A and B are shown apart, each in its own frame.
Chain A
Amino acid sequence: MSELNLANAAEFAIDYAKKQGIDQSEVSLHQGTGVSVGARQQELETVEKHNDAQFVISVYKDHKTGSASSADMSEQGIRSTVDAAISIARYTGADECFGLGDAGRMASSKLDLDLHHAWNADEAQMLDIAMRCEQAALESSDLITNSEGASVNSYSGSAVYANSHGFLSESLGSQHSISCSVIGSDDGGMQRDYWYDSNRNASNLDSAEEIGQVAARRTVARLGARQIASCEATVMYDSAMAKSLISHLIGAIKGGSIYKKASFMLDKVGEEVLPSFMTIAENPHKPGASSSAWHDNEGLATPEYRAIVEAGRLESYVLGSYTARKLGLESTANSGGVRNLSVTNTGQTTQQLLQEMGTGLLVTELIGSGINMVTGDYSRGAAGFWIENGEIQYPVEEITVAGNLLDMYRNIVSIGNDYDNRGSTECGSIVIDNMTIAGS
């Protein structure tokens, strides 16, 4: 059986679906290779080689849809996958809103967004990086007593999206990372923390030593953590944790939850949902960023910039073609999600935010998923530091922070300029008034 290259496989699939009498179809395919090397206690622990391939087709016939996927990209494999999708579309219900994105909005100009940087490190070099990373962590304090190790990952792959409008896009992408997790201990017991960096270009990664040192510093800082008494307090989410608040907001304005009326952000377009100093925008064409793309997952051209929340006001939901049609709106080219969010700040550094807060809780880790997306009720496990006079007093654990997201968003008092550059959301630390902390 002959293996096709991705673009040929895509065309073969669309052509075959058409011959079976399908009205419209779309396919996405990817193929990639990865290596991950882990070291622990200064010895090689694991070497894993990844080799992924996946082919997904969705077909539309008489306003019904079905989809199927497989790793088998031989002609026979593609035919049977398409047949499976067609078979499913016989039994699903008809909905006028199903179908490809509007033909007139297909992206026409391909942009080079600097998404692919192969990393030519071999396993021995990756092992060396992992060892140096862990060594830096182990050596940075006598209180670091054990390790979960350091790992280095590299992935590089190609992807194709095509649909029966005749749209076809081929792209290459890469992602590389270094991470480290170590254990510290003292009379009060053990604590673990970690640090990582991730980038499409390995030469932009923080140094192995720096990542190891940050992991160790974070771990040591948690030693001696205690529970505090329940109280109402101002809470500062550090820049890594603050992203979760932005992500809950985006989740709540996704078309799928809106048309099912399953969101606390229902009917909020046009309303002030955040303080007026906050603008949240997506930047899909940002070079080298982790979610950059010149078209969305349905081929629609993405904008260079789009404000989702402008000066506190919710401008629009986050929509793909189906959910837009359900709501009688236009797609916002967000099939596949939002791309590279930026959140404005109020100009303070981390230190200045702490000073302004005076007394309160700095949250550096959240665990659990206690969020009701229908009502916005929020309650999550947290760890961090108690702050008085703008300074860290002691580490805190085994507490929860709770509120309602609608109130929490309105109660944001400031956002720092201390961006965490990892990942696709650029956001500083966020300070929120009037949250409930549960403890002893």
Chain B
Amino acid sequence: MSGSIRFVKAPIWTFENMNQEHLSIAQATLLEPTGLSDGHLNQLMQKLTNVDGSDFADLYFQYSKHESWSLDEGQVKTGSFNIDQGVGLRSVVGEKTAFAYSEDLNAASILAAADVVSAIGRQGQNVQSNKLWRPQAIKPLYSQLDPVAALDDASKVAILEQADRAARDHDPRVKEVMASLSGVYEVVLIVTSDGRQIPDVRPLVRLNISVIVEQNGKRERGSMGGGGRLGFDYFDTSMIEHYAHEAVRQALVSLEAVDSPAGTMEVVLGNGWPGILLHEAVGHGLEGDFNRKGTSAFSGRIGEKVASEFCTVVDDGTLADRRGSLNVDDEGNQTKNTVLIENGILKSYMQDEHNARLMGMDVTGNGRRESFAHLPMPRMTNTYMHAGEHDPQDIIKSVKKGLYAVNFGGGQVDITSGKFVFSSSEAYLIEDGKITAPVKGATLIGNGPDAMQTISMVGNDLSLDSGVGVCGKDGQSVPVGVGQPTLKMDALTVGGVQL
């Protein structure tokens, strides 16, 4: 992963500016079409909190528009367009949660859903709710532009056609190019039982290019993509060519790959996307729900050393334009740059409202949900490791015999045992301090807390991924980011076939 990855400082907005624009977009999109008033919100909140011992309740109004186009055999063959809207209603009493949603934003339908929620809990006395709704200010980290509407369809098609040409022109061994372009525009309004109304407007775009190359009857695949909370203009000629050439390069490297070694050895991970190591090995295990329940391999270990002293890992939802960033999380709390591990010491979990309350900890702006039809949970945003002091070349040189893995497919973790895997798609042997033969993809497996202790060198080349990550938990998918500098693990099991 090279080139265009950088941290960007968010633009400075005035209070007036930010509050007005987002709130008026959210109200115009979600409340006004069906005439929902402050009075209706009061009525709804009264139903949701009309339960004995109610701790909190919220309404999550969401409009989302999704468009995608895909190309193969040199032409854009299919396109699809989807609009979803609805409101999720939640009421929480102690450890109990009641939840229902309505895809209809008419007052009557939402009130009926609220009746369903309040019927689930035990009824308390009728408390009159008469809130002065407080619209909240948010500090925008990304544009509120609708990427789907901002570019005409012919130009979207042209991006994919350009990707196809860029890949084919790059090498005659390219036999097939598959590319897809997707754009999402989401408007949310979160209404909470403590009287806040928090808007957000969230664009998200992604371009993926995948190629099949063939040489002497042998075929291989390579792929590259990226995006963020941006408009489609992010995919300019140089970005499209970068993705296309990178996909072709990876596929050609794979054509030459020999069998991967099998066994425990020194492993050097490249910078950027290999940061899914952190997402799997520590990230999920530090989510508040598992730790409240005591089911994580990291439960009860705050203040303990869970990684080598070279490791400082953060979850940062506040990076401008990033795929995993949010102005506010899906519970209306401002996202943060949370230090999870500092110089190897476990500092903090990632929390949503529910788990923070039950654990007596602060929320960290990590409450996320796939849509209004799903309950929020503690989830990651952009998770990465701070840079160290080593030159990446010196890290390679320090390895006598090992693996250098620079690109990965997906990963998975068993929270309780701490066992995690992630599957390399581009890797090389390191022999006597030099990168030698490319090897076929292999799954790497380890135990989170143990593996992190074996990190013995951290590079000075931190980069974030290009913006393609999707995280799944309990059947809910959310966009995330990862990143890291080049790093060395003294012992990790490599799942090749060559003993």
From A47, A71, A190, A403, B84 is in contact (CB under 8 Å) with A71
Given contacts A95-B77, A379-B496, A436-B496, contact A146 B120 (CB under 8 A): no
| Complex CA distance for A402 and B414, rounded to whole angstroms | 20
For the complex formed, measure the closest distance between the CB of B394 and the CB atoms of chain A, giving whole angstroms: 28
Given contacts A49-B100, A398-B447, contact A88 B80 (CB under 8 A): yes
Verify B103–A51 contact, CB threshold 8 A: yes
CB-defined contacts of A40 to chain B, threshold 8 Å: 95, 293
Verify A372–B77 contact, CB threshold 8 A: no
Task: Pick the 3 closest A-B CB pairs, nearest first.
Answer: A400-B495, A93-B75, A368-B421
CB-defined contacts of B190 to chain A, threshold 8 Å: none
Verify B414–A367 contact, CB threshold 8 A: yes
Asked if A440 CB lies within 8 Å of chain B CBs, one says yes
Verify A70–B83 contact, CB threshold 8 A: yes
Asked if A125 CB lies within 8 Å of chain B CBs, one says no
Verify B410–A91 contact, CB threshold 8 A: no
Residues of B within 8 A of A (CB): 69, 72-73, 75-86, 95-103, 113, 116-117, 120, 153-154, 156-157, 175-176, 178, 212, 214, 219-221, 260, 262-264, 293-295, 297, 373, 375, 409-419, 421-423, 425, 440-443, 445-447, 493-499
Verify A192–B416 contact, CB threshold 8 A: yes
Asked if A148 CB lies within 8 Å of chain B CBs, one says yes
Verify B97–A398 contact, CB threshold 8 A: no
Verify A71–B295 contact, CB threshold 8 A: no
Closest to B109 in A: A51
CB-defined contacts of B442 to chain A, threshold 8 Å: 370, 379, 400, 402, 438
Verify B417–A189 contact, CB threshold 8 A: yes
Verify B176–A262 contact, CB threshold 8 A: yes
CB-defined contacts of B102 to chain A, threshold 8 Å: 51
| Complex CA distance for A90 and B221, rounded to whole angstroms | 31
Given contacts A47-B120, A400-B442, contact A370 B375 (CB under 8 A): no
Closest to B251 in A: A374
- Given contact pairs A148-B295, A436-B262, enumerate 12 new A-B contacts (beta carbons under 8 Å): A47-B99, A49-B117, A51-B101, A66-B81, A84-B81, A91-B157, A146-B294, A369-B412, A370-B443, A372-B425, A374-B220, A381-B421
Closest to B70 in A: A92
For the complex formed, measure the closest distance between the CB of A295 and the CB atoms of chain B, giving whole angstroms: 22
Closest to B66 in A: A69
CB-defined contacts of A197 to chain B, threshold 8 Å: none
52-102 of chain A: CB within 8 A of chain B: 52-53, 65-72, 81, 84-85, 87-93, 95, 98
Asked if A46 CB lies within 8 Å of chain B CBs, one says yes
Verify B220–A439 contact, CB threshold 8 A: no
Residues of A within 8 A of B (CB): 40, 43-53, 65-72, 81, 84-85, 87-93, 95, 98, 123, 146, 148, 183, 189-192, 222, 225, 227, 230-232, 260-262, 266, 367-370, 372-375, 377, 379-381, 383, 397-404, 436-440
For the complex formed, measure the closest distance between the CB of B288 and the CB atoms of chain A, giving whole angstroms: 14
| Complex CA distance for A130 and B157, rounded to whole angstroms | 50
- Pull 26 A–B residue pairs with CB atoms less than 8 Å apart, ordered by A: A43-B95, A45-B97, A49-B100, A52-B103, A65-B77, A67-B79, A67-B81, A69-B81, A81-B81, A85-B81, A91-B154, A192-B416, A225-B417, A260-B176, A261-B219, A367-B414, A368-B443, A370-B441, A374-B220, A377-B441, A379-B443, A381-B445, A398-B447, A398-B493, A401-B495, A438-B493
Verify A367–B421 contact, CB threshold 8 A: yes
| Complex CA distance for A44 and B121, rounded to whole angstroms | 10
Closest to A97 in B: B77
Verify B440–A260 contact, CB threshold 8 A: no
CB-defined contacts of A379 to chain B, threshold 8 Å: 260, 423, 441-443, 495-497
| Complex CA distance for A90 and B79, rounded to whole angstroms | 10
CB-defined contacts of B219 to chain A, threshold 8 Å: 261-262, 266, 374-375
| Complex CA distance for A403 and B499, rounded to whole angstroms | 12
Given contacts A379-B441, A398-B445, contact A68 B493 (CB under 8 A): no
| Complex CA distance for A355 and B373, rounded to whole angstroms | 49
CB-defined contacts of A374 to chain B, threshold 8 Å: 212, 219-221
Verify B263–A230 contact, CB threshold 8 A: yes
Verify A49–B81 contact, CB threshold 8 A: no
CB-defined contacts of B212 to chain A, threshold 8 Å: 260-262, 374
| Complex CA distance for A383 and B447, rounded to whole angstroms | 13
| Complex CA distance for A232 and B220, rounded to whole angstroms | 26
For the complex formed, measure the closest distance between the CB of B492 and the CB atoms of chain A, giving whole angstroms: 10
From B80, B84, B416, B496, A66 is in contact (CB under 8 Å) with B80
| Complex CA distance for A65 and B79, rounded to whole angstroms | 8
For the complex formed, measure the closest distance between the CB of B448 and the CB atoms of chain A, giving whole angstroms: 11
Verify A400–B101 contact, CB threshold 8 A: no
CB-defined contacts of A71 to chain B, threshold 8 Å: 84-86, 103
| Complex CA distance for A29 and B74, rounded to whole angstroms | 32
| Chain A CB within 10 Å, residue with most, of B83, B100, B178, B418 | B83
For the complex formed, measure the closest distance between the CB of A178 and the CB atoms of chain B, giving whole angstroms: 16
Verify A438–B494 contact, CB threshold 8 A: yes
Verify B96–A398 contact, CB threshold 8 A: no
| Complex CA distance for A370 and B264, rounded to whole angstroms | 18
For the complex formed, measure the closest distance between the CB of A276 and the CB atoms of chain B, giving whole angstroms: 26
Verify B414–A192 contact, CB threshold 8 A: yes
CB-defined contacts of A438 to chain B, threshold 8 Å: 262-264, 442, 445, 493-496
Verify B221–A92 contact, CB threshold 8 A: no
Closest to A48 in B: B99
CB-defined contacts of B221 to chain A, threshold 8 Å: 262, 372-374
Closest to A44 in B: B96
Closest to A3 in B: B104
Verify A146–B295 contact, CB threshold 8 A: yes
CB-defined contacts of B95 to chain A, threshold 8 Å: 40, 43, 45
Closest to A260 in B: B176
CB-defined contacts of A53 to chain B, threshold 8 Å: 103
For the complex formed, measure the closest distance between the CB of A141 and the CB atoms of chain B, giving whole angstroms: 16
Given contacts A66-B79, A232-B499, A370-B409, contact A439 B443 (CB under 8 A): no
Verify A192–B220 contact, CB threshold 8 A: no
Given contacts A66-B80, A183-B416, A368-B411, contact A399 B263 (CB under 8 A): no
CB-defined contacts of A47 to chain B, threshold 8 Å: 97-99, 120
Verify A440–B264 contact, CB threshold 8 A: yes
CB-defined contacts of B76 to chain A, threshold 8 Å: 91-93
Verify A261–B175 contact, CB threshold 8 A: yes
Closest to B210 in A: A262
| Complex CA distance for A372 and B81, rounded to whole angstroms | 30
Closest to A85 in B: B81
Closest to B155 in A: A91
Verify B83–A72 contact, CB threshold 8 A: yes
Verify B178–A69 contact, CB threshold 8 A: no
Verify A68–B447 contact, CB threshold 8 A: no
CB-defined contacts of B80 to chain A, threshold 8 Å: 66-69, 88
| Complex CA distance for A53 and B102, rounded to whole angstroms | 10
Verify B495–A402 contact, CB threshold 8 A: yes
Verify B446–A48 contact, CB threshold 8 A: no
Given contacts A192-B417, A381-B419, A398-B445, contact A68 B293 (CB under 8 A): no
Verify B77–A93 contact, CB threshold 8 A: yes
From B73, B84, B120, B423, A370 is in contact (CB under 8 Å) with B423
CB-defined contacts of A189 to chain B, threshold 8 Å: 297, 417-418
Verify A190–B81 contact, CB threshold 8 A: no
For the complex formed, measure the closest distance between the CB of A168 and the CB atoms of chain B, giving whole angstroms: 23
Closest to A70 in B: B83
Given contacts A68-B80, A68-B81, A400-B495, contact A383 B419 (CB under 8 A): yes
Verify A399–B220 contact, CB threshold 8 A: no
CB-defined contacts of B157 to chain A, threshold 8 Å: 91-92
Verify A65–B409 contact, CB threshold 8 A: no
From A68, A222, A380, B495 is in contact (CB under 8 Å) with A380
| Complex CA distance for A298 and B212, rounded to whole angstroms | 29
Verify A50–B297 contact, CB threshold 8 A: no
For the complex formed, measure the closest distance between the CB of A346 and the CB atoms of chain B, giving whole angstroms: 26
For the complex formed, measure the closest distance between the CB of B56 and the CB atoms of chain A, giving whole angstroms: 15
From A230, A260, A368, B423 is in contact (CB under 8 Å) with A368
CB-defined contacts of A403 to chain B, threshold 8 Å: 497
Verify A227–B493 contact, CB threshold 8 A: yes
Given contacts A262-B221, A439-B263, contact A369 B496 (CB under 8 A): no
